[in-house]
Amino acid sequence: MFKLSGYNFKFCILFQIIFVLFFSVSAFAAGEQKRVQKHDWTFAGIFGHYDDAQLQRGFQVYREVCSSCHSMNYVYYRNLAEEGGPGFTVEEVKVIASEDMIIDGPDDYGEMFERPGKPSDTFVSPYANQNEARASNGGAYPPDFSVLAKARSTLRGFPWWFVDLFTGYQEQGVDYIYALLNGYSEPPEDFILQSGMHYNEYYPGNQIAMGQPLYEESVEYADGTVASVEQMAEDVSAFMMWAAEPKLEIRKQMGFKVAIFLFVLAGLLYYSKKKIWARIEH
């Protein structure tokens, strides 16, 4: 181990304090974007797991609202029945898939044709390509949802980005999406909003092309949950997190087994080391 004499140590600490003060002051000078609050998610933390009912509700919101503009190109219908997912049965997934029409082909005569979806298809996309998507949305491209929950973040600032390393806070993206969906309001009086844009206090620059997507009772939940804006925003955000990180549950469960193994192994090696080194003076 490095040894620090008292004088040295004070010196280092002083140096660090100066830096911390200096940077935290400058960090506050940044941006008008409202700070995103940490939300309570079942899948957060080391024991995190998805809430099946919530994912099913989120899927319903995606399907009935979001999917009219947003694609989910990397997600397959079959994923809906896989372990660590929303917990649909294989039969249910077959029905869900068959409700969407897929363009397939070419057939034996060189023609493209439409057929009902199968579990092995990816989610059907609302637009044929990016250009069509832009043309239908005033030039703005509605981003693909597959990994969006991992592709967004919030400004954490010092010292939080450092604390996050050891608390395992990985929900910045989904926190941002949840805040954004609840962040629509009338712009302040002195705010100049460009035509076709909408005011959102969490969006960088506060002007977003997407209009408020969720209103009270936008969907009617099959399980009887009251479809408030907050509820739907929470459900669809959770669903997007699952879509971005479908192996999260398996990953965290395996992490526990690995950790137990490593701790036991470390303990055994520690005592082996002690025993071997007891043979000589050290």
Q: Does 70 bind other proteins (CB under 8 A)?
A: no
CB nearer to other proteins: pick between 103 and 254: 254
Q: Does 278 bind other proteins (CB under 8 A)?
A: no
CA dist 100 and 32 (Å) reads 42
Cβ 1 to other proteins shortest distance, Å: 6
- Tell me the per-residue interface mask from 123 to 162 with other proteins, x by CB under 8 A, - otherwise: --------------------x--xxx-xxxx----x----
CB nearer to other proteins: pick between 44 and 232: 44
Q: Does 12 bind other proteins (CB under 8 A)?
A: yes
Q: Does 185 bind other proteins (CB under 8 A)?
A: no
Cβ 228 to other proteins shortest distance, Å: 29
| Helix/strand/coil (H/E/C) assignment for every residue in the chain | CCCCCHHHHHHHHHHHHHHHHHHHHHHHCCCCCCCCCCCCCCCCCCCCCCCHHHHHHHHHHHHHCHHHCCCCCCCEHHHHHCCCCCCCCHHHHHHHHHCCEEEECCCCCCCCEEEECCCCCECCCCCCCHHHHHHHCCCCCCCCCCCHHHHCCCCCCCCHHHHHHHHCCCCHHHHHHHHHHCCECCCCCCCCCCCCCEEECCCCCCEECCCCCCCCCCCCCCCCCCCCHHHHHHHHHHHHHHHHCCCHHHHHHHHHHHHHHHHHHHHHHHHHHHHHHCCCCC
CB nearer to other proteins: pick between 9 and 215: 9
Q: Does 49 bind other proteins (CB under 8 A)?
A: no
Chain centre to alpha carbon of residue 127: 23
Beta bridge partners of 122: 76
Residue of 128, 165, 192, 278 that binds other proteins (CB under 8 A): 165
Q: Does 22 bind other proteins (CB under 8 A)?
A: yes
Q: Does 249 bind other proteins (CB under 8 A)?
A: no
Q: Does 84 bind other proteins (CB under 8 A)?
A: no
Q: Does 265 bind other proteins (CB under 8 A)?
A: yes
Q: Does 252 bind other proteins (CB under 8 A)?
A: yes
Tell me how many residues contact other proteins (CB under 8 A). Answer: 58
Residue appearing with tokens 């469960």: 253
Residue ranges that bind other proteins, judged by CB under 8 A: 1-4, 8, 11-12, 15-16, 19, 22-23, 26, 46, 73-74, 76, 79, 143, 146-148, 150-153, 158, 164-165, 168-170, 172-173, 204, 244, 246-247, 251-252, 254-256, 258-259, 262-263, 265-266, 269-270, 272-273, 276-277, 280-282
